[in-house]
Amino acid sequence: MDNSKHFLYVLECSDSTLYAGYTTDIDRRLRQHNEGKGAKYTRGRVPVKCIYQEEYKTKREALQAEYAFKQLSRINKERYMREGKEQ
């Protein structure tokens, strides 16, 4: 049984763009992004800061949430982060 935590996280990059991803360890992943070892998208946009996170019970749920989030417009992403997944 998988007892790890699964997260959708959103970073704000130095150019004010947003990056969404999946991880089981937010602190480690944020450190990787800021060291230039994260996603290719964030490498030229450091420093980044985590501005939103949601915890899920399964990896599948977190990855589905990440995909759905990435389909939203910037305005709707901001609304989602304000209101959370339950709204």
- What is the pLDDT, as a whole number, of residue 84? 73
Are residues 30 and 12 in contact, defined by beta-carbon separation less than 8 angstroms? Answer: no
How high is the pLDDT of residue 4? Answer: 87
Dihedral over Cα of 85, 16, 32, 41: its sign: positive
* Ordered domains of the chain (ranges, CATH): 6-83 (3.40.1440.10)
On whether the CB atoms of residues 73 and 81 are closer than 8 A, the answer is no
| Structure-block tokens of residue 56 | 């899920």
Q: With a cut of 70, which residues of the chain have pLDDT below it?
A: 1-3, 85-87
Model pTM? 0.90
Which residue stretches of the chain are H helix?
26-34, 40-43, 59-70, 74-83
